Amino acid sequence: MNFNTDFQPVTTQPQEIEEKSFKIITEELGAHPFTDEQFPIVQRVIHASADFELGRSLVFHPHAVQAGIRAIREGRALVADVQMVQVGISKPRIVKYGGDVHVYISDPDVAAKAKELNTTRAIVSVRKACEAHDGAIFAIGNAPTALLELIRLVKEGSAKPSLIVGVPVGFVSAAESKEELMKLDIPFITNRGRKGGSPVAVAVINALSILADAQGR
């Protein structure tokens, strides 16, 4: 196959595209209730979803942004509920501080344990993550059951995550699980309603890691 390479691509510089996008987002969003430290996260969520309603639905625990920045800079583990979240997270700014992104949902022992206990792999994988990592950042974009289990472990005192990013999407239990998260007095970033998803979880973490990295400069 012979490719003609002398055409003019509409857009070639990712950095330029991003800057242009962020400018559009700031203009179109207008007045909003977010603080200066929360705003870059809201902006990146809107960038990933093209959904202003979703951006406006974000809810931050007052210490969430600083807790997330600190945890990344301390090299705390990141735990993703599903592979889509894991692969979406930009690794260099995590690895640089000694952290890594883990996902347990597809582990054979998780599947076996879920079958044994007649429960979901999402629930068992959250338990495994809490056993493996103290003070981890959790990024839950898909499974309300994972978020509900994490909330339960926090309440009973067996899990002490440094930050919970809980933004599952869907029609059954997603909104409810996020309302439960909002009742906790530990650092969380979540949103109201049914919307959410892997790209939202990824956008929040990537925005936090950019803030964390900028703080070191």
Residues designated catalytic: 47
Question: Rule CB under 8 A: is residue 120 a binding residue for its own copies?
Answer: yes
Cα–Cα distances (Å) from 195 to 15, 141, 172, in that order, read 27, 10, 11
Nearer to its own copies, 69 or 153 (CB): 153
98 binds its own copies (CB under 8 A): no
Work out whether 51 is an interface residue with its own copies (CB under 8 A).
Answer: yes
Tell me the per-residue interface mask from 30 to 49 with its own copies, x by CB under 8 A, - otherwise. -----------------xxx
Report d(CA 197, CA 204) in Å as an integer: 11
Range in contact with its own copies (rule: CB under 8 A) among 29-37, 69-77, 163-171, 181-189: 163-171
156 binds its own copies (CB under 8 A): yes
29-37, 58-66, 82-90, 93-101 -> range binding its own copies (CB under 8 A):
82-90
Whether the Cβ atoms of residue 70 and residue 187 lie closer than 8 Å to each other: no
- HSE, side-chain direction, 13 A CA sphere, residue 126: 27
Q: Which stretch binds its own copies (CB under 8 A): 37-45, 182-190, 194-202, 206-214?
A: 194-202
Conformation bin of residue 98: beta by default, left when phi > 0, alpha when psi is -120 to 50: left
Sheet bearing 78-80, strands edge to edge: 58-60, 188-191, 163-166, 137-140, 78-80, 101-103
> Which residue matches tokens 């207008």?
30
Work out whether 181 is an interface residue with its own copies (CB under 8 A): no
Q: By C-beta, is 105 or 163 nearer to its own copies?
A: 105
CA distances from 202 to 9, 142, 169, 175 (A): 27, 11, 13, 19
Q: Does 66 bind its own copies (CB under 8 A)?
A: no
By DSSP bridging, strand 163-166 and strand 188-191 are parallel
Number of residues counted as binding its own copies (CB under 8 A) = 58
CB-CB contact of 120 with 181 (8 Å): no
Least distance in angstroms from the C-beta of 79 to its own copies: 15
Integer Cα distance of 45 and 183 in angstroms: 22
Q: Which of 35, 131, 215, 216 binds its own copies (CB under 8 A)?
A: 131
Binding residues (CB under 8 A) for its own copies: these are 1-5, 7, 9-12, 14, 17, 20-21, 24-25, 47-51, 83-84, 86-88, 117-120, 123, 127, 130-131, 144-145, 148-149, 152-153, 156, 158, 169-174, 176-177, 193-199, 202
